[in-house]
């Protein structure tokens, strides 16, 4: 029997084994699962640092909302997120990070300035977002650079084509003179 068939058989046996558990065990497993699923009411519209139990959930939800939101939503949020508090500035950085490329530098600066003041549990997520915005800024810079290089090459090609055409005309003139002589 090959390894793939053995793995399939083991997986099927493991899955089928659940039905042979005593009814009480299955109920205990179901209750444990339900107990683990119950969570506090999180997902504030604007995240903060105060609620430790909802900290990551709120910030991840806010990041997803910023990513999915349109320009109008982002503008409303930027108006709401005016202030100098660390949590407000970081929330504004998240909103700016998903805006147009012209706002990415400001988002990066806000992340860099206030990341250290965020709760330690939140810092890895914020650092990830900072790295992501820096990666997008780098890609944008490379795209602009490559477009400029492409434009310069197109201009150089055009100049070389004109020179080649001029040389071709000179060669034709020389050939026509040689035929007439």
pLDDT tens-place string over residues 126-156 = 999 999 999 999 999 999 999 999 999 999 9
Residue 6, exposed/middle/buried by CB under 10 A (0-12, 13-18, 19+)? Answer: exposed
Provide the 3-class DSSP secondary structure of residue 92.
helix
**pLDDT in the model for residue 7:** 52
**pLDDT in the model for residue 49:** 84
Residue 177 has pLDDT above 70, yes or no: yes
**pLDDT in the model for residue 48:** 83
Cβ-contact 56, 125 below 8 angstroms: yes
Residue 165 has pLDDT above 80, yes or no: yes
In tens, the pLDDT along 31-49 reads 544 444 455 566 667 888 8
Alpha-carbon span 173 to 181, nearest angstrom: 12
**pLDDT in the model for residue 13:** 47
In the chain, % of residues over pLDDT 70:
75
In tens, the pLDDT along 91-112 reads 999 999 999 999 999 999 999 9
């Amino acid at each position: 029997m090959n390894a793939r068939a053995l793995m399939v058989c083991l997986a099927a046996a493991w899955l089928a084994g659940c039905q042979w558990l005593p009814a009480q065990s299955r109920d205990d497993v179901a209750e444990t699962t339900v107990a683990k699923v119950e969570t506090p009411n999180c997902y504030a519209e604007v995240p903060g640092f105060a609620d430790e139990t909802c900290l990551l959930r709120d910030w991840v939800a806010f990041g997803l909302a910023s990513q999915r939101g349109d320009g109008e939503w982002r503008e409303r949020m930027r108006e709401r997120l005016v202030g100098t508090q660390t949590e407000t500035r970081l929330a504004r950085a998240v909103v700016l990070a998903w805006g147009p490329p012209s706002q990415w530098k400001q988002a990066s600066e806000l992340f860099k300035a206030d990341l250290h003041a965020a709760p330690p549990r939140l810092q890895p997520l914020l650092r990830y977002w900072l790295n992501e915005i820096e990666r997008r800024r780098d890609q944008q810079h490379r795209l602009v650079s490559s477009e400029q290089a492409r434009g310069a090459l197109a201009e150089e090609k055009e100049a070389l084509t004109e020179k080649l055409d001029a040389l071709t005309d000179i060669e034709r003139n020389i050939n026509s003179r040689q035929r007439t002589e």
